[in-house]
Amino acid sequence: MANLETEGEVSILTFLIKLVENGKGSEILKQLPEASELQIEEGKGHFLLKDTTNPKVFLSTGSGLAPCYRMAKEDKS
């Protein structure tokens, strides 16, 4: 999964990838050189974090890790 962040005029994608032994996608990713160009699509889900000052606990696995990473990073509580 990836998260898009903007710092000024620069957009940064942060990828959270777990390489799985003999995994179809993992094998392809392992062979790519650093800074390879990839064509990607936007996420298809929808999840919002309510803007409150209440303490939060973030639990996730698999593809749920990327959105939780971004929300925990931006959370101000």
Could you tell me the two tokens for 21?
Answer: 């032994």
Per-residue CA distances from 40 to 4, 58, 64, 76 (Å): 12, 26, 18, 30
- Who contacts 3 (Cβ-Cβ below 8 Å, separation ≥6)? 13, 14, 16, 66, 67, 69, 70
Task: Specify the pTM.
Answer: 0.39
Q: According to the model, what pLDDT value does residue 4 have?
A: 65
Mean of the per-residue pLDDT values for the chain? Answer: 78
Could you tell me the two tokens for 35?
Answer: 């800074």
Q: For the segment 6-44, what is each residue's pLDDT rounded down to a tens digit? A: 777 777 777 777 888 888 888 888 898 988 888 877 767
Q: According to the model, what pLDDT value does residue 2 have?
A: 57
What is d(CA 6, CA 12) in angstroms, rounded to the nearest whole number? 6
